[in-house]
Structure 1
Amino acid sequence: MENNNNNGDPTPVPRVAVVVFLLKGRSVLLGRRRSSVGNATFALPGGHLEFGESFEECAAREVKEETGLVIGSSKFLTVTNNVMLEQPKKCHYVTIFMRAMVGVDAVEEQVPQNLEPTKCDGWEWYEWDHLPHPLFGPLEKMVKGGFDPFSP
């Protein structure tokens, strides 16, 4: 049974997102979002956790679907609870942050491709100490809070 609010719209429910700090040296891969949530902000690759999927499987799948990059193992870093009421489309995400390296086992360097141009303007590597602005809300909170994805 679907919950409805007073307007007859379905009540938003929390969703689970898995996003990946894809690291190369002291750089991180970011793309500019094209979405009703966080439009024109820079975000990590990632997406919705599918039924029965592990965080690691979701991280590898989403990075491959969005960038064409193949990652090896990924590591759980942290989880955040993000209620975004100020967005045009109100939403609530429990966000799983993972870390993966690129090019560790690769014979040749992989180059990120924009495989979802309706959702992203493209992928670029940014030095951690010189991130672009504006950052997507959940990522911005972590950066302002001093989070360091390069820490062991």
Structure 2
Amino acid sequence: MENGSRISGDRRPQVGVAVFLLKSSSILLGRRLSSVGYGTFALPGGRLEFGESFEECARREVKEETGMDVVRVEILTVVNMVALDGPDPTHFVTIIARAEMADSGQSPANMEPDKCAGWAWYEWAQLPQPLFGPLEDLLKGGFNPFAASRLM
């Protein structure tokens, strides 16, 4: 760290996994209620647990947050987001995945109402605003989950 840094103590980057669930020309997004990104729209996802693969994390987080089961998890890209503003600076390395619903008849349920205001499908051409920072940065860079190739 440089001298004069606003970050004190041992602040290590966290690893997260975010999952694009696609349905026709729509993606699943939820409005965040947590302090990081409050009020923004984000993909289902969360922190990688010790010993867990990226694919296992994607399946677990989608199930915990939406109640839905997914299959065919693909790792698409990675986002490195450092947010030094605010009272609690964060640094997340987020693995971006795409997965298919195990059953196309599943509907998302809000399994964590303390963290999310609810899940809905949004047309790719008309995404709600504001988007969660890492998602917004990814899309500004031209990323398209419908056309993305597998990274790994």
TM-score by length of 2: 0.89
Match of 1:130 among 101, 126, 137: 126
One-letter identity of the residue aligned with 2:44: P
State the SS of the aligned residue for 1:147. coil
Q: Are 1:75 and 2:71 counterparts?
A: no
Match of 1:119 in 2: 115
Deviations 1:1-24 (A, max 9, x none): xxxx99996432100000101111
Match of 2:140 in 1: 144
Task: Determine if contact 1:27/1:128 at 8 Å carries over to the other structure.
Answer: yes
One-letter identity of the residue aligned with 1:54: S
Deviates more, 1:141-150 or 1:79-88: 79-88
Q: State how far apart, in whole Å, the 2-side matches of 1:111 and 1:14 are.
A: 33
Match of 1:50 in 2: 49
Q: State how far apart, in whole Å, the 1-side matches of 2:138 and 2:5 are.
A: 34
TM-score by length of 1: 0.89
Task: Determine if contact 1:36/1:87 at 8 Å carries over to the other structure.
Answer: no
Task: Determine if contact 2:83/2:89 at 8 Å carries over to the other structure.
Answer: yes
Unaligned runs of 5+ in 2: none
How far has the Cα of 1:141 moved from its partner? 0.7
Q: State how far apart, in whole Å, the 1-side matches of 2:118 and 2:86 are.
A: 22
Match of 1:97 in 2: 96
Match of 1:109 in 2: 105
Match of 1:11 in 2: 10
Q: State how far apart, in whole Å, the 1-side matches of 2:56 and 2:70 are.
A: 10
Task: Determine if contact 2:7/2:89 at 8 Å carries over to the other structure.
Answer: no
Deviations 1:39-71 (A, max 9, x none): 000000000001111110000000000000000
Task: Determine if contact 1:22/1:29 at 8 Å carries over to the other structure.
Answer: yes
Q: State how far apart, in whole Å, the 1-side matches of 2:5 and 2:41 are.
A: 34
Q: How many matched pairs? A: 145
One-letter identity of the residue aligned with 1:91: T
Match of 2:38 in 1: 39
One-letter identity of the residue aligned with 2:97: M
Unaligned runs of 5+ in 1: none
Q: Between the two proteins, what is the percent identity of the paired residues?
A: 59
Cα distance change on mapping 1:60 and 1:8 into 2, 3 Å: closer
